[in-house]
Structures are given as C-alpha cells and as structure tokens.
C-alpha cells in the first residue's frame, strides 16, 4: 500500500511539475506570446514551423489550444491555419519528453538548487521565470525517478506483473489505459512520463508493442478532453474535432500496422525510455504531415456540420476555464477575448443606433437595446473571474493588467448603458414625434456618431495590443471629439439664431445626443492611461 501511494506521489509530482513549467514559461515570455505568434504566421508550412517553435517554448497542449483559438477569434488566422499551428505545437512539445527520457534524475536536486537561487534570489520576472522552469523540469525528473523506483520495488508483486503482462500482450488495452491516464492527468506528457519512469528502471518493460500503443492512446486521450471542454462553444468544438479526427486517423493506422511498427521501433538503437519519446515525436509528426493537406477541407466539413446556435444578438459569454486561475498568462488571454467581444458589441450598438435613427426603425432600436444585456453579462463574467478566481500572486505588471481589464470592461458596460438608456431612448422619442433634423445638423450628427464609433474601436485596439502609440492616438482623438462637440453646439446655436424651424424643433434631442457622444468618447479613452502605466512598468523591467 505504501509503495502504491509513493507511486501516486511520483505521478502527482510530474503533474505539478508540468503545471509549474507552464507558469514559469508565462513569466518568461509573457501574455504577448499570442501577438508574436500571430505576426510570424504565413503559409501552411511556415505556420506549422511556427507551431513547432511554440511547442518548444510552451510545451502545454492547453496553452497551445487557447492561443490557436484566440488567434482565430481575433481574426489573425483562419481555422485551418490554426489547426496547423496546433499540430506543429504538439510536435514541438515532445521535446520535453526527450529531456525526461535522457535519464537525468540524479541531476534533479542540482536543478532544484539552481532554480530556487534564480527564483528566490532575483527580482526580475524573466530571471524568476527561468528559475521556475528549471525547478519544474527538476520536479518532473524527480517524479519520474520516484515512479521508476517504486516500480522496481513492486516488480515481484503478482498484480503488477499481471498488469504489465496484460498491457504488453494486448496493445488495445494498453492504448485504452494510456488514453484514460492522459485524460485524467489532462496531459499526454505526464501520462507518457510515467511509462518512461518505468522504462528507466527496467528497460525491458517498454516493449515495442507497449510503446506504440501507449503513445497512440495518450495522444487521443488529451485531444478527447479538448473536445469535451469546448463542446458548448461551436467554434471551439469544430476546431477540436478537426484535431481529434486527424490524430484518431493516425492512431487507427498505427494500431492497424502494429507488427510493422513494432519491428521498426525495436530496431531503434536507443533505450526503452528514449524510444517512447521518439515514438511520441513520430506520432505527432505523422499527424502534422496529414494535417498539411487535410486541415482545410476538414475545417470546411466541420463548419458545414456544426452550425452556431441561433441566438440573435443576445450572446452568452464564452467559458473562462477556472483551471487557469493560477496561470495569469492563460487567464488574461481568456478575459481579453471576452472584453474584445464587449468592444465589438458596444461599437455595433452605436453604429446600428445611427442606422435605425436614419431609418426611423423603432423595432431595430429596441433590438439594439437588448444587446446591452450581452455587455452586462460579459462584464459580470470577467469581473467575477478577475476578482474572485484569479490568483493574487501576481507580479507588478499583471497587477496593473488586472486593473486595466477591470476598468475597461466596466467602462464598456457604462457606455453600453449610455447607448441603451440615453441614445436609443432619445432616438425612439425622435422617431415617435416624427421630427426632422436640419440637413446640416443631420450631417453633423452622422459625422460625430461615426467618429465616436472609431474611438471605441481604437480603444479596443489600444487595449488588445497594449500599444502606447495607439493609446496616444486615442487620447488625441478624445480631445478632437471634445472640440468637435463644442463646435457643433455653436453651429446649432447659430442655426437657432437664424430661425431654422427644424433646429428649433429638435434642439433638445440634438444637444442631448451631442453630449452623450462626447461622454462616450471620454469614458472609453480612459483605457489609454492603463496601457501607458503597463508600458512604464515594462520599461523599468
């Protein structure tokens, strides 16, 4: 019983090490990784190559999946290219397993020592991130060593011998076990690290049959979890099903050609542990090769099969995975995705409000007002996660980033309320009264409406990119709106003095809309100050 618990402890150490590694990589490369990746993407082969690089520096399938989906949502890459990016990421992330298979367990304590010195003895987030990565790798190696040591103690146990014999003699059973382990651990690396730990202790354990079966099962298991976790979101479901289809096809071919592949694996001049890592890389390379020609038509097929649910203009927030509450890099990517959705909905409310006013369409104005519910839900959704679930162990930059996101999503909710309760209500009154604005007054209103729509879009861009240049443009544009609103008021007063009938009839509505539009520009421009603060922190680091 003690030996079994020790084995579970070793597995837990591997899992913790994988998770700790992801957090260390976040400290090192930061949440701007998705932006860097987006700028490097190109054709299919280049995208796959970028994915391999992504996998090497961020060997977490969950992180890679989130980055791929966020790039699609932001319009930076097509779904088919995102599939290639992720498949390349899977290939790159196998590097971690090769490190584990190198039998470096005896150096793990030295790694912990070096990592702790960097993590505790330096103030730079990059140095601390590097230290955390070294600690994480050492913990994974220690976990692998514990699993291997316990297996040697249990090698004479009848149950253990029977399980090992059954797994080696029945590849499908071994594949199912590996699939279940990867799904339970939520990491194919952790599942295969256990197999490597056993192989390091007893090289004969990792037979060719067991190695191939476990690799196929672990890769299918982790992809199945991605499908289940994104099932409620049609775009994420389509994306995950394309990846699962490709990897399942490889797994079927692997199991069908098992005798040939077993001979090939056993002929590799390497230890059993290294063969597991080599097979893992080979499996993912095969999946990438298949994905290069197949990703496009498979993505199109899934788009035809899985349609978005009809929900009008009332959108539900996408899930923010609470598993990443301790991982600011991934957490902020998810919350930023929701905030950018709020930006798009808010901008569409203002733009469509003008169209409805021009068409005197009261039904459209009422529909636009319903979109305020979407922004309200997004605001509550994001604030609940950032204030109640996200870890408080944040560095200075991420503290400011949380404040920035909380403030901006709150400002967007306030703007949506202004559009709902002020602008749309004013437009409904104008429609019911049947009043007509003067020709010059109408053109002035239209111009200011469109300008303020641009201000909202620019605020979203400055927030998303954390760009000081865009923030400066935003503040300048806010001042221009303020000056323009004052000028338009003066023009309206001049028309009143000249006795224009339309201006006299619409003066209250006209001035109210001018004031609300200026207020909207002032509110959303506040995000520029938060972006500037983050830039100042980056310069200090």
Judgement on whether residues 283 and 383 belong to the same structural domain of the protein: no
- pLDDT of 212 over the 70 cut: yes
Q: What is the CATH number of the domain that holds 385?
A: 1.20.58.220
How many domains does the structure of the chain reveal?
Answer: 2
- pLDDT of 311 over the 60 cut: no
Whether 313 is in a domain gets the answer no
Of 305, 330, 364, the residue that ends a domain is: 305
Judgement on whether residues 89 and 209 belong to the same structural domain of the protein: yes
Judgement on whether residues 339 and 255 belong to the same structural domain of the protein: no
**What is the pTM assigned to this prediction?**
0.61
- pLDDT of 26 over the 80 cut: no
Whether 312 is in a domain gets the answer no
Query: pLDDT digit string (tens) for 240-263?
Result: 889 899 999 999 998 888 888 888
Smallest Cα–Cα separation from 342: which of 388, 373, 307? Answer: 373
pLDDT score at 310 = 47
With tokens 């702790």, the residue in question is: 116
The residue-averaged pLDDT of 355-367 equals 85
Judgement on whether residues 267 and 350 belong to the same structural domain of the protein: no
Judgement on whether residues 230 and 185 belong to the same structural domain of the protein: yes
Judgement on whether residues 21 and 156 belong to the same structural domain of the protein: yes
Q: How far apart are CA 276 and CA 188, in angstroms?
A: 12
Judgement on whether residues 382 and 514 belong to the same structural domain of the protein: yes
Whether 78 is in a domain gets the answer yes
Better pLDDT: 331 or 290: 290
Judgement on whether residues 301 and 326 belong to the same structural domain of the protein: no
Structural domain of 213: 2-305
Burial annotation 494-527 (CB, 10 A radius, 16+ → b, else e): ebeeeebebbebbbebbebbbebbbbbbbbbbbb
Smallest Cα–Cα separation from 325: which of 272, 402, 262? Answer: 402
Largest CA-CA distance found in the chain, in angstroms, rounded: 104
Query: pLDDT digit string (tens) for 193-210?
Result: 888 877 777 667 777 788
Whether 316 is in a domain gets the answer no
Judgement on whether residues 335 and 282 belong to the same structural domain of the protein: no
- pLDDT of 503 over the 60 cut: yes
């Amino acid at each position: 019983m003690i030996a079994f618990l020790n084995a579970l402890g070793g597995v837990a150490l591997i899992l913790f090490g994988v998770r700790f590694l992801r957090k260390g990589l976040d400290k090192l490369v930061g949440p701007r990784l998705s932006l860097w990746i987006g700028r490097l993407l190109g054709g299919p082969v280049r995208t796959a190559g970028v994915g391999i690089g992504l996998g090497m520096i961020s060997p977490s399938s969950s992180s890679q999946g989130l980055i791929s989906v966020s790039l699609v949502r932001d319009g930076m890459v097509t779904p088919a290219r995102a599939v290639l990016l992720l498949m390349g990421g899977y290939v790159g992330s196998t590097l971690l397993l090769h490190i584990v298979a190198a039998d470096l367990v005896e150096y793990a304590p030295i790694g912990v020592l070096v990592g702790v010195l960097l993590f505790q003895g330096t103030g730079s987030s990059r140095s601390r991130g590097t230290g955390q990565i070294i600690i994480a790798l050492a913990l994974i190696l220690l976990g692998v060593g514990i699993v291997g040591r316990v297996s040697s103690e249990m090698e004479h146990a009848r149950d253990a011998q029977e399980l090992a014999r059954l797994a080696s003699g029945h590849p499908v059973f071994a594949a199912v076990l590996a699939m279940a382990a990867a799904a339970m651990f939520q990491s194919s690396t952790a599942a295969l690290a256990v197999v490597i730990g056993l192989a390091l202790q007893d090289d004969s354990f990792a037979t060719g049959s067991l190695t191939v079966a476990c690799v196929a099962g672990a890769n299918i298991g982790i992809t199945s979890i991605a499908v289940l976790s994104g099932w409620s979101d049609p775009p994420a479901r389509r994306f995950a099903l394309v990846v699962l289809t490709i990897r399942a096809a490889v797994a079927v071919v692997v199991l069908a050609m098992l005798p040939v592949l077993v001979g090939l694996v056993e002929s590799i001049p390497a230890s059993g542990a290294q063969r597991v890592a080599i097979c893992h890389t080979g499996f993912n390379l095969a999946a990438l090769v298949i994905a290069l020609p197949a990703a496009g038509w498979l993505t199109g097929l899934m788009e035809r099969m899985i349609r978005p649910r009809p929900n009008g203009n009332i959108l539900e927030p996408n899930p923010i995975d609470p598993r990443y509450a301790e991982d600011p890099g991934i957490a902020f990517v998810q919350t930023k995705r929701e905030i950018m959705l709020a930006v798009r909905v808010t901008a569409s409310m203002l733009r469509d409000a003008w169209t409805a006013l021009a068409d005197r369409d009261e039904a459209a104005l009422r529909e636009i007002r319903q979109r305020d519910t979407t922004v309200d839900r997004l605001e509550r959704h994001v604030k609940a996660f950032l204030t109640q679930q996200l870890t408080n162990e944040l560095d200075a930059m991420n503290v400011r980033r949380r404040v920035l996101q909380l403030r901006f999503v709150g400002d967007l909710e306030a703007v949506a309320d202004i559009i709902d309760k002020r602008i749309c209500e004013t437009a409904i009154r104008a429609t019911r009264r049947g009043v007509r604005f003067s020709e010059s007054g109408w053109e002035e209103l239209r111009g200011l409406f469109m300008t303020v729509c641009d201000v909202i879009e620019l605020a979203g861009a400055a927030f998303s990119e954390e760009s000081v240049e865009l923030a400066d443009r935003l503040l300048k544009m806010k001042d221009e709106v303020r000056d323009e609103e004052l000028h338009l008021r003066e023009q309206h007063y001049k028309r009143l003095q000249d006795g224009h009938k339309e201006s006299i009839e619409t003066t209250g509505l006209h001035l109210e809309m001018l004031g609300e539009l200026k207020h909207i520009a002032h509110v959303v421009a506040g995000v520029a100050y938060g972006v500037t603060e983050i830039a100042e922190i980056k310069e200090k680091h």
